[in-house]
Amino acid sequence: MEKKIIACSLAPKALGPYCQAVETGGFVFCSGMVGVNPETNTAPEGVEAQARQIMENIKGLLSSQGLTLDNIVKTTIFLKNMDDFGKVNEIYGSYFTGNPPARSCVEVSRLPKDFLIEIESIVKR
């Protein structure tokens, strides 16, 4: 199996021993993205601001590979508090104006560095 490790400066660096994304078999598997601004290495406060930053990070990572949000086929959203579902849904939906990808959304007890949201995605080239 051939796999290509993807890393770019348009998305935050990995927080641990993993890569930003891996491409294999015509798919790009993106690691969970958090709301860190890759230019300042800081995270905004609040779930809405973190959700927007995550979507911009995903766009940046995909654009570095000649891809767009339209190439996403599946996402998983991890929320620290399911009460934020409506706010996140509104922001997330604003990034997918055409045919949105399949999606799961789950509440988790805690995320790395106490982020409020994390989104992972699977992308088809």
The end-to-end CA distance of the chain, in Å, is 17
Q: Is 105 a catalytic residue?
A: yes
Burial group, residue 47, by CB count within 10 angstroms (0-12, 13-18, 19+): buried
Neighbouring CB atoms inside 10 A of 54's CB total 28
Residue 11 Cα to chain centre, angstroms: 9
Six-digit token string for 116: 């409020």
Of the residues 8, 19, 30, 105, only one is catalytic, namely 105
Tell me how far CA of residue 89 lies from CA of 21, 60, 62, 69, 86, in angstroms. 24, 20, 21, 16, 5
Q: Which residues are identified as catalytic?
A: 105
